[in-house]
A and B are shown apart, each in its own frame.
Chain A
Amino acid sequence: MQPDLSQIPDNALLHAIARGDQSALAACYDRYRVILFSIILRILNDRQEAEDCLQEVFLQVWRRARDFDEARGRAFTWLVTIARSRSLDRLRASGSRLRLATEAAQAPREDTGDAAEESVRSEEGALVRKALAELPEEQRRALLLAYFEGLTQTEIAARLGDPLGTVKTRMRSGMIKLRELLHGKVRR
């Protein structure tokens, strides 16, 4: 009898994939496709390329699941890190960073559309989005530039036209607030 994979925790799901369980990968896709595709699309800003990249990401999840070690972080982090790295690699390779110049520094939009129906992650997503919206504008912009454009602190300071020291402080404060979120409401 096939167990109901939609209910098993993220860690167990990745362990199942590591053992070569293709249905576990399918369950992982159902659970994570929206958040991973959102990251990729945000970075690459091109649906076709984003879908190619999503396919690459799941192939990597399939092949590297045995590298996942819950002692070294959440399954969520492991998965989004793969999506982010893959997209940033593509972005750098294609040199299409300019397309993003205006979009990336914008605040996340509140409308979540159909994708918000995604059940397992929606609660955590709503919490984080709310917390992000509550961050001071300049903290949020700096963090999102680092995350979605892969900029270094120096590049961010140059982009925002702020002193490096100020940018560092803002990013640290923002990160501290996000970490508090993990300690409190977000499931580890």
Chain B
Amino acid sequence: MMEHQEYQELMALHALDALEASDARAVDAHLEACARCRAELIELKDAAGLLAYGATPAEPRTELRAQILRSIRAAADEDRRGSRISAQVVPLSDWRQSRAWTTGLRIAASIAIVALLIGIVVLWRRALRLQREVADLSGQVDTQQLDLARNRDILAREREALALLTSPEAKRMELTGTTAAQNARATLVFDKQTGRAMLLTEGLPAAPPDKAYEVWFIPKGHSPMAGKVFTVDASGRAMVSDQMPPEARDNSVIAITLEPKRGSAAPTGAIYLSSPSS
């Protein structure tokens, strides 16, 4: 905020209309509150008016006087007609009032439009936020459903394993790691009657992305018969349920090899686990 003194210094320039617009506005605002400055400005404007004498005196053409007085007469006649007409039609005050009304309505309409636009923007942003939240939630639901399915799967296999283990017909085979996976071991439990089998591994190295382990049933005197293709978790564990071919239920060797991801018809890769040959 400027002090009174500073405004006073601007006043002479204001009287000459020589202030920049922003300064002029500040001075005008001060003038509304300061009677002393108002009085000062009046004097300074009178002083500025004297500068008119700085122009070289010049006479207009003599004919101009009559011309100007004619135009004044015409303007006076027009004003009289104009005021008669306006008296007949709408009283001036009513007209002003109605104009104030239209102005009021226009302002109200502008405000309404602005409010509407703000409302639309707010709703639009809220909708976007909700959309994002819905997407997040349905993503979470998908993940949970996936988890649930996985858990159900695990549970089913565990039940199966439990059923197999507790079955009186259950037979059990131990597989040991070869040189390719010395820490690996696995257990195969199977029902000799039904051929239902469950393989539990641990300590198998993670398969490369384009590879997977494959189970082979090798009955004595037969070529290997392909079982399930599987991968292991981080600790090398897997629980694989399979159906054992009847030929393999007696006296066969079980082996696990590393194969292309989709599995092979006959073993091609290195043997990782194997049951002792009987």
Residues of B within 8 A of A (CB-CB), count = 39
- Answer whether residue B9 sits at the interface, using C-beta atoms and an 8 A cutoff: yes
Is A35 close to B, CB under 8 A? Answer: yes
CB distance from A22 to the nearest CB of B (A): 6
Contact B17 A150 (CB under 8 A): yes
Set of chain B residues within 8 Å of A18, measured between Cβ atoms? none
CB pair B67 A129 closer than 8 Å: no
- CB-CB under 8 A for A73 and B52, given A33-B59, A59-B71, A115-B59: no
B55 interface residue, CB < 8 Å from A? yes
Q: How many residues of A contact B (CB 8 A)?
A: 68
Given contacts A58-B68, A62-B75, A171-B16, contact A178 B60 (CB under 8 A): no
Q: Does B89 contact A (CB under 8 A)?
A: no
Residue of B nearest to A20 (CB): B76
> Given A22, A29, A42, A72, which contacts B55 in the complex, CB threshold below 8 Å?
A42
Q: Which of A76, A112, A143 contacts B16 (CB 8 A)?
A: A143
Q: How far is the CA of A178 from the CA of B18 in the complex (A)?
A: 16
Partner of A55 from the list B15, B18, B52, B64 (CB cut-off 8 Å) is B64
Within the complex, the shortest CB–CB distance from B127 to chain A, in Å, comes to: 51
Q: Which residue of chain A has the shortest Cβ distance to B43 in the bound complex?
A: A179
* A50→B60 contact, CB < 8 A: yes
CB within 8 A of A146: which of B17, B59, B69? Answer: B17
**B62-83, CB < 8 A from A:** 64-65, 67-69, 71-73, 75-76
A118–B18 Cα distance when bound, in Å, is 31
List the B side residues contacting A175 at CB < 8 Å. Answer: 12, 15-16, 44, 47-48
Cα-based distance from A22 to B43 in the complex (angstroms): 30
Contact indicator A38/B13 (Cβ below 8 Å)? no
Contact B61 A76 (CB under 8 A): no
Select one of B44, B54, B72 contacting A132, CB under 8 A: B54
Contact of B54 among A73, A76, A108 (CB under 8 A): A108
Distance of A8 from chain B, by nearest CB (Å): 18
Q: What 0/1 readout, one digit per residue, does chain A (11-54) give for beta carbons within 8 Å of chain B?
A: 00000000010100110011001110111011000000011001
Q: Which residue of A lies closest to B40 (CB)?
A: A179
Between A62, A114, A156, the greatest number of chain B beta carbons within 10 A of the residue's beta carbon is seen for: A62
Contact B65 A186 (CB under 8 A): no
Min CB distance A32 to B, Å, is 10
Which 6 pairs between the two chains have the least Cβ-Cβ distance?
A115-B57, A77-B49, A42-B55, A38-B55, A175-B12, A178-B47
- Show 14 residue pairs from A and B whose CB-CB distance is below 8 angstroms, ordered by the A residue: A22-B72, A25-B72, A33-B59, A34-B58, A74-B46, A80-B52, A124-B53, A125-B53, A143-B54, A150-B17, A153-B19, A171-B18, A178-B50, A179-B47
